[in-house]
Amino acid sequence: MKVRCLYNTGESLRSYEYSSLEENILGRFGVTAHSEYGDLEIGKIYSVMGIIIFETYQAYLIDDDEFVFACPCQLFEVIDNKIDKKWYFRSTDKDEDIYPFIQATLGYFELCDDKKTYENLIIEKEANAEQVYFKRKKELENETSPRFP
């Protein structure tokens, strides 16, 4: 799945809020109107490595070739809607620390198999979790790149 970044600010998410909010109030995306997604480059195409279903929105698991992050899907347009046939799904158990904030996860095997992968990847920035992410991304890109004789 490929997406193109259209926006990189909290202001652009305001129209998706359930009600009108003041600029400095956190909305359902966890940002204010003044917040910026500094790692996102408008117009850049990103490979989606997972979809995180939060309590109030969905986020794409993407990277800037160095850092991995989850950003609200409303910041993007889908330009290739094919999902990798090897993706997995995992519903979050109510006894997990990330529940109810994260409801479910779709993506590569390790992201869905290990209950700590999201935390290790996004919060802890654990080297092993990042290595697996970039390994899976490389495999995906090799499978989807055109083959020439």
In a domain, 149, yes or no: no
In a domain, 107, yes or no: yes
What digits encode the pLDDT tens for the residues 51-86? 999 999 999 999 999 999 999 999 999 999 999 899
In a domain, 148, yes or no: no
So what's the pLDDT on residue 98? 87
So what's the pLDDT on residue 145? 61
Angle at 3 between CA 90 and CA 112, to 5 degrees: 15
Tokens of 133: 């992410």
In a domain, 21, yes or no: yes
In a domain, 97, yes or no: yes
Cβ count near 106 (within 10 Å): 20
Count up the domains in the chain and report the number: 1
In a domain, 71, yes or no: yes
In a domain, 147, yes or no: no
Using a 10 angstrom Cβ sphere, with 0-12 exposed, 13-18 middle and 19 or more buried, the burial of residue 131 is: exposed
Containing structural domain, residue 134:
2-142
In a domain, 96, yes or no: yes
